Amino acid sequence: MAIDTGPKCRLCRREGVKLFLKGKRCATKCTLDKRAYAPGQHGKKPSKPSDYAVHLREKQKVRRIYGIMEKQFRKYFHFAQREKGVTGENLLRMLERRLDNTVFKLGFSYSRKDGRQFVRHGHILVNDKKVDIPSFSVKVGDVIRIKGNSESIKKKIKECIEVAKDRSIPPWLEVDEINMIGIVKALPSREDVGLPIQDQLIVEFYSK
């Protein structure tokens, strides 16, 4: 899968909102606080975006938040269309249930990118089985824990959990901080996403 290796702060400036792509550093060293305009030589020039641009930016924002490339994101959208209910809400629920996002929401990583790395390196167990696929979709009753007894990994997880207390754990998840275990209590609702996303704009973008 292609990887965006450019400056993360430029992505936040492009979307005009904090995407929290750099973990705890976003709370202390955010470029958006100093330069709240789009990157590039024309970033400061005020302009009225077209309807297409508004829809595109919303889609790009969600892609960047969850760290998903276009092809995979489009697949998620088609799956969401086939499910019962509101397509936009279905899409966000699918993205929230990704294992890398779940690891982040549990407080086991500073960011979704770190969560994805934990999963790929085989540090995450789901129901006592190693899962190294970041897009793995968790379900109700799944128990997520850290694999192995590495002191360096445990130390980092404990630091992540302390930082996560500032953003709170969503109600669909439960965390045992001492044993570093997470439990999926329910499926996430639209309100649990907790992000400034207008999912209807994404639906309209792909419906054109």
Task: Identify the structural domains of the chain with CATH numbers, from first to last.
Answer: 8-95+195-207 (1.10.1050.10), 98-187 (3.10.290.10)
Question: What is the token pair recorded at 11?
Answer: 């992505």
pLDDT for the residue 21: 59
Residue 177 CB neighbour total at 10 angstroms: 16
Query: Which residue stretches of the chain have pLDDT < 50?
Result: 1-2, 37, 41-42
CB-CB contact of 107 with 164 (8 Å): yes
DSSP 56-116: HHHHHHHHHHHT--HHHHHHHHHHHHHSSS-HHHHHHHHHHTBHHHHHHHTTSSSSHHHHH
Query: Looking at this protein, which amino acid is placed at residue 42?
Result: H
Q: Give the burial class of 164: count Cβ atoms within 10 A of its Cβ; 0-12 exposed, 13-18 middle, 19 or more buried.
A: buried
Structure-block tokens of residue 39: 């990157």
pLDDT of residue 193: 85
**For residue 74, what pLDDT is reported?**
95
Annotate 121-163 with DSSP letters as a single string.
TT-EEETTEE---TTPBP-TT-EEEE-S--HHHHHHHHHHHHH
**Mind listing the pLDDT tens digit for each residue in 17-71?**
666 555 555 555 555 555 554 555 445 556 677 889 889 989 988 998 898 999 9
State pTM to two decimals.
0.81
